[in-house]
Amino acid sequence: MKHKATATIASFAILAALCFASSARAQQRRLSTEDYNKAIHLYDQGLDQFAKGQIDQAIALYKQALAIYPALPEALTNLGLALDAKGDDDAAAQQIGLALQYQPNDAIAESDLGLVLYHQKKYPDSIAAYQKAISLKPDLPDAYNGLGAAQFASGDAAAAEANYQKALFIRPHYFDALGNLGAAYVSQQRWSEAAAAYQQALTLNPNAEDIRANYLAALQHSGGSVDLTSGYQQLVARNPSDPAAWYQLGHAQYENSQIDAAIASFQKSLALKSDQPDVEFSLARALTDQNKFADAIGAYQKGLALQPKSADALSGLGNAYLKTNQPRQAAEAFRKCLAIQPSASGPLFGLGLALMNSGDLTGASAAFAKLVATEPTNYVAFFDLGNILFNQGQYGLAADRYRQAIKLNPNLAQAHYNLAAVLVRLSDSAAAAQEYATAHKLDPSLIPPASK
């Protein structure tokens, strides 16, 4: 979530409370009462237009007020905020800086300068401005929230969290600070606390869809018991053109074993925004679960075109190729995966299978040997190594690998059966008969040759 450093709009609700610097007061004395009141009226109209989102009109009105009364600090500050809203940060900083020349101890203007500097990504300067604002007015919640946002952007989530908490101590129902606090918790993987902060923010603004999405995502990570599928369905109902909402809905449906619905949601997300590798990968996994391997391959390929270094996706692609009897393509995918994660057991096993199925027994043997060296309890790898050695006529080594597989999994009927076949070739008929009997007991469909 993008952190918000909230602006404060100054107002002339009580003119007697205004405190101008000496130059401003001198200029005011040179104004007629009529001109002074006209400047104030234009300024107030500008505030009204800004509040309505009419930024251009607000800028025009502030400038008209300043044409009459150039040393009006609040008009300068709010002109700066309006220019900032238009994206003209340099001009905004200039106007607020001029206001501070007239009124150097204005905490609100310092806070607003911090906001503009934040938007300029001048985070150290923004932090300094917010800190000065707080030194001038220690009970200014917007300054604490803005200081937290600048610190968070600088990589100091702990300091940001502390300042969001200070803002909330002063103003407990502070929507932006709650949202920012939730994001600070997320960055520290404190999912339950993040969910609580987002939930509190939603009580203040139930229609904040970005906060709702963050809340549901935090709940998902924290293992919350809330019906996430229903929550995301409400989210997409409110904003059906949001690809992120459809993606999160798909995840919730997938976790709830609603695979067909998840596929439809992932496809909807991609229809709204095509260049989303994570969505392509999620779609591919869901298609794989439905045995739609050709479609899964297409989704993996699209995602990998955008994010070619995803080891998980390359491994998934390799498995999909194996399922469609394309061992050479599978081996290529697994090799790319292993170039990223050299000792990953799943891709090593997949590479061994792919090479074995493509007739490269030497390469398959090397892959399985590396796998059992890094994962010595993998009985399936020992079993497949035995099969390769059996096919190569290395019966003694094959028997050893089958025995290792049986030691790790005594109930592996096929390993007993294949060991018996090897023992026959090694002329150990008694031991072979015993292994055949064990295999048949574990799996009656495995009938010893003498019984056929």
Q: What is the pLDDT of residues 57-113, one digit of tens each?
A: 988 998 998 899 888 888 888 888 888 888 888 898 889 888 889 888 999 999 999
Distance CA 33, CA 113 (A): 31
Average model confidence (pLDDT) across the chain = 88
Share of the chain above pLDDT 90, in %: 63
**8-state DSSP, 13:** S
Alpha-carbon gap, residue 253 to 408, rounded angstroms: 37
Tens of pLDDT along 316-348? 999 999 999 999 999 999 999 999 999 898 999
CATH superfamily of 397-452: Tetratricopeptide repeat domain (1.25.40.10)
Residue 301: pLDDT over 90: yes
Structure confidence at residue 77 (pLDDT): 84
Predicted confidence band of residue 9 (pLDDT cuts 50, 70, 90): very low
Predicted pLDDT at 5: 60
What is the C-alpha separation between 226 and 229, in angstroms, rounded?
A: 9
User: Could you tell me the pLDDT band of residue 13, with boundaries at 50, 70 and 90?
Assistant: very low
**Res. 228: pLDDT tops 80:** no
How would residue 226 be classed by pLDDT, with cut points 50, 70 and 90?
A: low
Q: What are the Cα distances from residue 92, in Å, to 45, 76, 86, 252, 429?
A: 19, 9, 9, 44, 93
**pLDDT for residue 222 is more than 60:** yes
Mean pLDDT along residues 115-128:
94
Rounded to 5°, angle at Cα 403 from 397 and 406 = 145
- Within 10 A of 17 (CB to CB), how many other CB atoms are there? 7
Say whether pLDDT at 8 is over 80: no
pLDDT for the residue numbered 22: 43
**pLDDT tens for residues 408-434?**
999 999 999 999 999 999 999 999 999
pLDDT band (50, 70, 90) for residue 217: confident
Structure tokens given for 48: 């009204």
When pLDDT is averaged across residues 202-225 and rounded to a whole number, the result is: 81
DSSP 8-state secondary structure symbol assigned to residue 87? T
Which of 18-27, 98-107, 188-197, 275-284 is predicted with the least confidence, judged by mean pLDDT? 18-27
Long-range contacts of residues 146-150, Cβ cutoff 8 Å, at least 24 apart: 146/5, 146/6, 146/111, 146/114, 146/115, 146/118, 147/114, 148/3, 148/177, 148/180, 148/184, 149/3, 149/4, 149/5, 149/118, 149/180, 150/5, 150/114, 150/117, 150/118, 150/123, 150/126
**pLDDT score, position 15:** 25
Question: In 3D, which of 254, 236, 238, 256 has the Cα closest to residue 246?
Answer: 236
